[in-house]
Amino acid sequence: MKGTAMPSSDLNGKVALVTGGSRGLGAAIAKRLAAEGANVVLTYVGSEEKARAVAAEIEATGRRALAIRADSADPAAVVRAVEETVRAFGGIDILVNNAGIWMDGPLLEATIEDFNRIIAVNVRAVFVAAQAAARHMKSGSRIINIGSNLADRVHSPYMTLYSMSKSALVGLTKGMARDFGPSGISVSLISPGPTDTDMNPANGAHAEHQRSLMAIPVYGRADEVAGLVAYVASAEGRSANGAQWVIDGGVNA
């Protein structure tokens, strides 16, 4: 064992799969679950170096980690990531569907290819991963979907396709909570608002506009979202089934 052992937690020995875990929210979530005791698999598409750095950081704490290249737009790749997780770690207890893409622009200029791609990554991949993972999960397991506060209110033009895809996760999460609930698998949706990551930096071109929408005009941090994921994954989050957690500084207040 390398590095300093993590403190005891009810996630000790659990196996977590975090899609899109090479940077931003996904990396923060992967590292926080490891800090709580879980062994973590993370997927990536193009950021192999960053993904392996996250895995190495986790392993340096004494937890096990694995980075898998898997394009969430490819259903077969999503299933393979789940199956590889099970083969490598012997099971899966926590699935965090974090991978997603951003798309904006005038609706009249959107193409059917745009529509199909955002549905494939932001919606279909969540369904595919959850279905594949649930086949290996035991009672007490968690599926946590990462959505967006834009599912509930569209504050500006040009975000129609993205907002649509995140709205779909509300119904998908609630339906899965009913379907998987009898097996003891809980399903929740965490919907961040403006969060300081490389994709939406707090000093970016549109940051002041986003702050103007917030009751507390301060960007969220990735580790705050990760903390909420860790809570929902823990024993204390047992009853959070079919729940939507909005963490956006009061944008939708």
- pLDDT tens-digit profile of 84-120? 999 999 999 999 999 999 999 999 999 999 999 999 9
Give all strands (DSSP E) within 88-176, no chain letters. Answer: 94-97, 142-146
Q: Rounded to a whole number, what is the largest CA-CA distance in the chain?
A: 56
Secondary structure percentages of the chain, helix, strand, coil, to 5: 45, 15, 40
Residue 25: name the closest of 228, 185, 213, 215 by CA.
228
The whole-angstrom separation of Cα 175 and Cα 163 is: 19
Identify the pLDDT of residue 11. Answer: 96
Q: Where are the alpha helices (DSSP H) in the chain?
A: 24-35, 48-59, 75-89, 112-119, 125-134, 160-180, 207-212, 222-233
Side chain identity, residue 185: I
Identify the pLDDT of residue 199. Answer: 82
**Residues involved in catalysis:** 162
Identify the pLDDT of residue 177. Answer: 98
Identify the pLDDT of residue 8. Answer: 45
Identify the pLDDT of residue 202. Answer: 92
Residue 37: name the closest of 217, 233, 253 by CA.
233
Side chain identity, residue 93: D
Identify the pLDDT of residue 4. Answer: 45
Identify the pLDDT of residue 225. Answer: 97
Question: What tokens were used for 32?
Answer: 């926080």
What is the pLDDT tens value at each position of the chain, 253 positions in all? 344 444 446 899 999 999 999 999 999 999 999 999 999 999 999 889 999 999 999 999 999 999 999 999 999 999 999 999 999 999 999 999 999 999 999 999 999 999 999 999 999 999 999 999 999 999 999 999 999 999 999 988 999 999 999 999 999 999 999 999 999 999 999 999 999 898 889 998 888 989 999 899 999 999 999 999 999 999 999 999 999 999 999 998 8
> pTM value?
0.94
Identify the pLDDT of residue 239. Answer: 92
Measure CA of the first residue to CA of the last residue in the chain; give whole Å. Answer: 46
Identify the pLDDT of residue 222. Answer: 96
Side chain identity, residue 162: Y
